[in-house]
Amino acid sequence: MKKILICLSIFTILFNVAPSVAHANDDGQKGPVEGEDYFEQALVAPLEPVYLPIIMYHQLTTNPARLDTYIISQDEFESDLQLLQNYGYTTVTVKDLLNFCHKREPLPERPVMITFDDGFESDYIYGFPILKKYNMKAIFSIIGRYTDMFSEPDAIKHINYAHLSWEEIEEMYGSGLAEFHNHTYDLHSMEKRRGALPYKYESDEEYRKVLKDDLGKLNEAYEQRLGYMPAAFACPFGAFNDRMKEGLRYIGFSVIFTSQQKINKLTGNPEELMRLNRFLRAHGKSVDKLLRQWEQYYKAATPTPVPPREGHLEGPLK
C-alpha cells in the first residue's frame, strides 16, 4: 500500500508540472519555454561516468639535439599512438564531447584525446602522416597571428620554428582526422598580461572585450576558411582562473583545455568541459607507465602491448 501511495504521489507531481513546460506564443501557438530541456533530461537516467585522459603535445622533431620538455621525436609520437592502440583507446574530438553532454551520444569505452598546442608546422610534416597511418584524430589549437604570418607567399620557413599555414590547416581538416580550435590570435605572450588572463584591476566588461577582439579574430578566420566556429580554447602557458572561465563562456566558448595533469571524469554535465585537464607529453616521459596508471580507472584487464616492429623505437626511455 505504501508503494502504491508513493507512485501516486510521483504521478501527481509529474501531472501538475508537465503542462507548465509550454506557453502561448504571440500567434497563440504553444511552444517551449526555458527549462523544458531540463525537465525532459531529468526524466532520463544519468550517464555512466566516463574517464577521459588528454595528452598535450607541442612540437615534433627528427633532430635529437632539439629534444626537450616541449619537443619530442617523431618516433616517440608514433610509439605513443601504437601504445594507445594496443591498450584499446579510441581518439575523440571536441565535437564528440559536446555531443556526449548535449545529445547524450555515447563515447567509446576507452576514449582518449590527443591535443597539439601552438600550431607548429612540424605537426603537419611529422605528426599528420602518423595520424593517418593509425587512423587517429587530434585537436590542434593554433596561434592565429603566426598562422597568418607563415601563410604569406614570401614567408621564410624553417621546420624548427615555422607554424602551420592556412593551406596546411585546410588539408588536415579535410582529412577528418584534425579538429582545429583557439589558442588566441595574439595573446600568447608573457610580456604584458599572463597569456589570456585578465589584469587584476581590469573590469569584466573591459576583459570580455579583450577576449572577444582577440579570440574572435581567430574564430572568424576559422569560419571563413573551414566553415565552422571553434568551441574550445587552450589556455596559453596553462594560465587559468575563474574570471577567464566566465569571460570565455560569455563570448561563446564551451570547452577549455588547461594544463593540470590528471584524468578527467565526465558525467554528461557540460560544466565539466569548462576545465579539462591534460597530461604534458615531454621528451623521455614513459607513456607506457602513464597508461598503466590509467588502468585503475578501467575494469578490463591490462592487455599485453604488442612488441614494436623491428627498428622502431618502443617509446620514451626513463
Is the model's pLDDT at 148 over the cut of 90? yes
Query: Residue 212 sits in which domain range?
Result: 50-297
How many domains is the chain partitioned into structurally?
1
**CATH number of the domain encompassing residue 115:** 3.20.20.370
Within a domain: residue 306? no
Cell of residue 5, nine digits: 501511495
Q: How confident is the model at residue 316 (pLDDT cuts 50, 70, 90)?
A: very low
Within a domain: residue 314? no
Within a domain: residue 272? yes
Q: How confident is the model at residue 190 (pLDDT cuts 50, 70, 90)?
A: confident
Residue-wise pLDDT tens digits, 255-279:
999 999 999 999 999 999 999 999 9
Residues in the chain, how many?
Answer: 318
Within a domain: residue 117? yes
Within a domain: residue 106? yes
* Helices and strands (H, E) in the chain, number of each type: 11, 14
Q: Give dist(CA 184, CA 286) in Å, integer.
A: 30
Measured in degrees and rounded to the nearest 5, phi and psi for residue 36 equal -65, -45
Query: Of all residues in the chain, what percent carry a pLDDT higher than 70?
Result: 79
Within a domain: residue 305? no
Residue-wise pLDDT tens digits, 15-68:
443 333 333 333 433 333 334 444 444 445 566 889 999 999 999 999 999 999
Within a domain: residue 11? no
Query: What angle do helix axes 287-294 and 74-86 make, rounded to 10 degrees?
Result: 30
Within a domain: residue 30? no
